[in-house]
Amino acid sequence: MIRDTVRTFIHKEVMPLEPEVLQNERAGRQGLSADKLKQLQEKAREIGFWGINTPEEYGGAALGSLALAITYAEVGRTFVPFRFGGSADNILYSANAEQKRRYLLPTIAGTRRSCFALTEPGAGSDAGNIQMKARKDGHHWILTGEKIFITNGHEADFAMVFAVTDPSRGAHGGVTCFLVDRDLGWRSTPIATMGEWDPGALVFDEVRVPDTNILGEEGQGFNLAMRWIGAARWGIPARAIGVAERLLAMAIEHAKTRHTFGEPLSARQAIQWMIADSAVEIEATKWMTYHAAWLDDQGIDNRHQASMAKLYGANMANHVVDRVLQIHGGMGYTKDLPIERWYREVRLFRIFDGTDEIQRYIIARNLIKGHVRPGDD
């Protein structure tokens, strides 16, 4: 029911905006204005889709991780930059009562916008090697350093910033998360990318942050960061499912209507195999991803399964979009069709929230050290 309702909404309300989004993006403008996004979110709210995985006490539906994964897949069917409203970063629920009033509740309501600021110029996959410093000064902390490739970093009005507060204790005890309002003095600039995602570069130059803005406990920031990243990992292959299913449908339609040498492309074995391989990989990603989300709903540690889903799903999307572009030939390479846009977008899936290489490292480490055994489930 959730899948069908979201799919209908995406087809009826969101997909019709695709030509407008393409036109805006190719003119160097924002694909979807904040006003239009808010209007779409309010329409979704009218049919009950608000805070899909947000606890009921905060006005959400609390449908769980599996429902959220299914929703991500349906939203992935369009490149319109739409997301359902009423949610907040999972680690914001670790806030105290006053912080919830100032940060969590406004974020859920959509009146504030956050960013997760962990990655640095010298610490990407090696997140435990962050160098940004926070030194104590009375009842304040002075933050100095840089963050890079931060999603929403140029648009957010506050950041969840991770900084070293005790170098002697390492990452698991010496890193603290701070809630830092933009008006406290940090600056940002957008980073142009090959896709339509323009992350931010953030600069903190002696930014004073009060003690009261520590999220969670002092020294326990790295644990919060890993919790945030863990929740994001199965979300990426979930979105990849929707992207790939939409692309595969386009390829099938083109193969049936495009004729060469007196026959449709769909009669060619080479094309048939591209279609078959794509369908199998999509189905495999779906089961891996939904299983990881289901485990989360059961309160079972799903980090191993989430890493496998992220690794496989990110590569699946890249395989599928490449095949679909090939099936479309020269037209697939043009900007008349959105395939080239998806081609650029899904390439990022293999990098952010843990690269392919990091996922392989995690999976292999779990197996070699015996944290996970083949056949156990």
Ordered by start, the domain boundaries in the chain are: 2-87, 114-225, 234-368
Find the helix or strand (DSSP H, E) in which 215 lies: strand 214-215
24 burial (CB, 10 Å; 0-12 / 13-18 / 19+) is middle
Q: Quick one: how far is CA 30 from the chain centroid?
A: 19
265's tokens: 């492309």
Distances (CA, A) of 258 to 62, 255, 266, 268, 327: 46, 6, 8, 11, 10
Which of 200, 195, 197, 189 minimizes the C-alpha distance to 148?
200
State how far the Cα of 70 lies from the Cα of 242, in Å rounded to an integer.
9
State how far the Cα of 255 lies from the Cα of 272, in Å rounded to an integer.
9
Amino acid at 101: R
So what's the pLDDT on residue 371? 92
Q: Residue 22 in contact with residue 341, Cβ under 8 Å?
A: yes
Amino acid at 361: Y
Q: Which residues, listed in sequence order, are joined to residue 259 by a DSSP beta bridge? A: 264
- Domain 114-225 adopts which CATH fold? Butyryl-CoA Dehydrogenase, subunit A; domain 2 (2.40.110)
pLDDT in tens, 294-347: 999 999 999 999 999 999 999 999 999 999 999 999 999 999 999 999 999 999
So what's the pLDDT on residue 281? 98
State how far the Cα of 293 lies from the Cα of 65, in Å rounded to an integer.
5
Rg of the chain (C-alpha set): 22
User: Are 2-87 and 114-225 the same fold in CATH?
Assistant: no
Distances (CA, A) of 90 to 108, 114, 132, 257, 279: 11, 12, 23, 46, 33
The position carrying tokens 């694909």 is 31
So what's the pLDDT on residue 18? 96
Strand 158-164 to 214-215 pairing:
unpaired
Torsion 93-96-97-98 (CA) sign = negative
CATH 1.20.140.10 at 234-368, yes or no: yes
CATH 1.10.540.10 at 2-87, yes or no: yes
200's tokens: 């931010």
So what's the pLDDT on residue 201? 97
So what's the pLDDT on residue 126? 79
Q: Which residues, listed in sequence order, are joined to residue 143 by a DSSP beta bridge? A: 134, 207
- What single DSSP character describes residue 355? -
Q: Residue 305 in contact with residue 292, Cβ under 8 Å?
A: yes
Ranges of residues in the chain whose predicted pLDDT is under 70 = 377
